[in-house]
Structure 1
Amino acid sequence: MESQTLSNKLLRDFDNLYNSEADDYDVKIQVGENSKMENFKAHSVILRARSTYFRSAFSSNWAKKEGKYFIFKKPNVSAIVFQIILKYIYTGIIELNENNVKNNIIEILIAADEMNLCELVEYLQQHIINLNNDWIKKNIVKLFNKIYQCKGVFPKLEDYCNDINMCQESELLIDSNIFRGLNHGVLQRILLLILILEIGYLMSIMR
């Protein structure tokens, strides 16, 4: 039997484990807050193997234990995002064309970084960079806000944001409703970048 066939069988087995309703799990994970809070079940051996974040949690006093279950609470991660992350942990698969993924790609990236899923972080950064202009125009302010709040964490996206031709997007930014909710420091940085790029553009056409 070829190694590829064995790998495919292994992935199917993990996928079955992810979708199983069996009661052999030993981790309970509570995500979201208030009415949007949801509970997930998982297996510590899988989480340990796939994420140094969980490995550290299980090997210290960080993860609480109630009876035979490890208890995690992640109020800063939505149920939609965590479900996508958990499926990736078990199967290595993320469906980029699914609406839940497309609509939450930035939040998935941030959650993946928090859980030390390095390969997924690299993959998602490159995927965002390769997205078409329509997506960038629609999400540019949200992208700037998140990336600059996490300064130094996503270097590829930082470089990409710095290289975007903001001259053509200035009106879009100013008219955006999201613009009003920007962190003050991020807002200053974006406005300064717009100003610098527009000055550069004006100087280029005056030569």
Structure 2
Amino acid sequence: MTSIFYSNLSKDFSSILDNADDYNVLIKVGENQNIKEFRAHSVILRARSSYFKGALSSNWITKQNNMIMFNKPNVTPTVFEMILKYIYSGELDLTNQTSEDILGLLIASDELLLEELFTLVSCKKLQDYCFESICEDPLPFITSKSFLSLDKDILFNLLESDNLQIEEVTVWDYLIKWGIEQTSAGLGSSSN
């Protein structure tokens, strides 16, 4: 007879994130005045994310006092906290999260190769929720830094929506900024 206790396992791993003192990774996320440092365990990060499996390999890491130092300035502390909780416990709570944070979560999850967030049905719900939230109040999203790095297919779906509640002139202004950013990014990567 086999017994499976995923709920207890999830709680135990979650408590490791909150209470353990044997961490070996310091992760600094955010930029400017919005920076936070998180403590984590490389073995758990590598087991749950192929991104971390590569990024925390001995070829890529930077160590200081026997501690792996990792910087991720393009992810906000709020988003990274959700990601770490997901990595350790398998739980993702979007209650009271802003549409910008949810979008940041989608972008960061894609970058960190957390495929489960994109393959589960809950991801579709997450995308729908995010899309609806943006359509209802698009200005905070369109004026955020995340907008400039938005995938063209997602942008097309958003602009195609009849529910987008914003003046076309405003959308056009930010669409031009998005296009300039895409062109600049393309030029920068081709010179490397």
Task: Classify the TM-score, shorter chain.
Answer: 0.7 to 0.9
Match for 2:59 among 55, 58, 61? 61
Match for 2:102 among 99, 102, 105? 105
What corresponds to 1:80 in structure 2?
78
Q: Equivalences for 1:105-184 in 2 at 5 Å?
A: 105-122=102-119, 123-130=122-129, 133=132, 135-139=134-138, 142=141, 149-151=149-151, 157=154, 160-161=157-158, 163-165=160-162, 169=164, 172-174=166-168, 180-184=173-177
Flag the structure with higher helix content.
Answer: 1
Number of residue pairs aligned between Structure 1 and Structure 2? 177
Q: Equivalences for 1:37-56 in 2 at 5 Å?
A: 37-56=35-54
Q: 1:3 to 1:150 in 2, by over 3 A?
A: farther
- 1:31/1:76 contact within 8 Å kept: yes
Kindly provide the amino acid, as one letter, of the partner of residue 36 in structure 1: N
Classify the secondary structure of the residue corresponding to 2:16.
helix
Q: 1:70 to 1:120 in 2, by over 3 A?
A: same
What corresponds to 1:202 in structure 2?
none
Q: TM-score, normalised by structure 2?
A: 0.74
Classify the secondary structure of the residue corresponding to 1:142.
helix
The one of the two structures with greater contact order (alpha-carbon pairs below 8 A, sep at least 6) is 2
Q: Which runs of 5+ in 1 are unaligned?
A: 188-207
Q: Distance in 2 between matches of 1:124 and 1:147?
A: 19
Give the CA deviation at 1:66: 1.4
Classify the secondary structure of the residue corresponding to 1:72.
strand
1:70-95: CA deviations, max 9, x gaps? 10011111111111111111011111
1:12 aligns with 2:11: yes
Aligned-residue CA RMSD (Å): 3.3
Q: TM-score, normalised by structure 1?
A: 0.69
- 1:109/1:125 contact within 8 Å kept: no
Q: Which runs of 5+ in 2 are unaligned?
A: 181-192
Q: Equivalences for 1:189-204 in 2 at 5 Å?
A: none
Kindly provide the amino acid, as one letter, of the partner of residue 126 in structure 2: H
Give the CA deviation at 1:147: 6.9
Classify the secondary structure of the residue corresponding to 2:166.
helix
Structure number with greater Rg is: 1
Moved more, 142-151 or 106-115: 142-151
Q: 1:42 to 1:12 in 2, by over 3 A?
A: same
Identity of aligned residues (%): 34
